[in-house]
Structure 1
């Protein structure tokens, strides 16, 4: 009586859905990793090159920079500014002021006397500011200040922290490897 020999079993390819999900997972993780690296690089550059963000709580610079705008400022020596620049000046005991420079009077030792006026104000700021460095506005976006304030809410920060923790856990959670699927497949072809 002839004996029947079973045909050799070939590894069954992973189901298409599983391969697609794995590809989507890898793309999402790669995008998040790149975004994280970009955030870290921008933070380091901001610190090293003296960039920071400010929010406009008043409309004194409207219509150029309306109330609720977010601006990127760069710390520069006061001797580098020109009439027409929009700068932030720190005032002892008061909030900083961000207005347009309308007069410059160089002094000795790198100091500068500047007069400023908000675009929406009819009169210049009272008095002049004696400064050695200012923060020059290099970019601004209307309406972003409210979003930054929303993001700084402790509940929102807590939610972001929990979501980021979940993503890290998901990224490093052990996954069943393709080889494990092949080793578990019995002679009938379907995984146990």
Structure 2
């Protein structure tokens, strides 16, 4: 005499539940990528700058976001695009026209010119360190400025909180589901 086990298969999660799970997984991977990028930025002195003017157009148009790395001024070459800090003014990001390193003082004189400008900047910049543009993405600065708006950030926060609550909210158990370990003693299986 053999006894049969009664139980039902666990119900399949709904399409919305699976979509929410996938979305949360994608967000988790994005979070890990952000953490790695922040660590790399600190380790390698890499920052972001946004272009508010068109002085570097067409190579780097207004609204571009650039990744820059802090380097020694004597390591830059003619043709590099660098950001130079100016006392009492906003930094300037232009292309290097000439460079003249002064080994005695450790400083370097740079002549810069914006690609869209007719003439080079007035005067030379005496610097020891600059931020060299590694690469840029046109239009990305506008996206970052949009997402920096407190109302947009608040809306995103509320939407993510609702998604987390929706995915992890306890589901109602179906009353017809039985424990798989329950055995019906009255049921006989086999030939009679």
Q: Same fold (TM over 0.5)?
A: yes
- Given candidates 91, 109, 132, the residue that maps to 2:105 is 109
CA distance in 2, matches of 1:163, 1:53: 27
Q: What's the counterpart of residue 73 of structure 2?
A: 78
Q: Which has the higher contact order (CA 8 A, sep 6+)?
A: 2
- Aligned in 2, Cα 1:114/1:140: closer, same or farther, shift over 3 Å? same
CA distance in 1, matches of 2:106, 2:171: 62
Q: What's the counterpart of residue 42 of structure 1?
A: 37
Size of the aligned set, in residue pairs, is: 178
- Aligned in 2, Cα 1:177/1:50: closer, same or farther, shift over 3 Å? farther
Which protein has the bigger helix share?
1
Matches within 5 A, 1:62-101: 62-101=57-96
Deviation, 1:162, is: 2.0
- Aligned in 2, Cα 1:21/1:121: closer, same or farther, shift over 3 Å? closer
Deviation, 1:23, is: 4.4
Consecutive unaligned residues of structure 2, counting only runs of 5 or more, are: 184-192
Q: What's the counterpart of residue 190 of structure 1?
A: none
CA distance in 2, matches of 1:81, 1:177: 66
CA distance in 1, matches of 2:154, 2:17: 29
Q: Deviations over 1:156-182 (max 9, x none)?
A: 11112223333444455445689x943
Q: What's the counterpart of residue 3 of structure 1?
A: none
Q: Normalized against structure 2, the TM-score is what?
A: 0.81
Consecutive unaligned residues of structure 1, counting only runs of 5 or more, are: 1-6, 188-192
- Aligned in 2, Cα 1:175/1:109: closer, same or farther, shift over 3 Å? farther
Q: Does 1:126 find its partner at 2:122?
A: yes
With 146-155 and 27-36 compared, the bigger mean Cα shift is at 27-36
Say if 2:57 and 2:115, in contact at 8 Å, map to a contact too: yes
RMSD of aligned residue pairs (Cα, Å): 2.8
Q: Deviations over 1:92-114 (max 9, x none)?
A: 11000000000101113321110
Q: Aligned to 1:30, what secondary structure does the other structure show? A: helix
Q: Aligned to 1:79, what secondary structure does the other structure show? A: helix
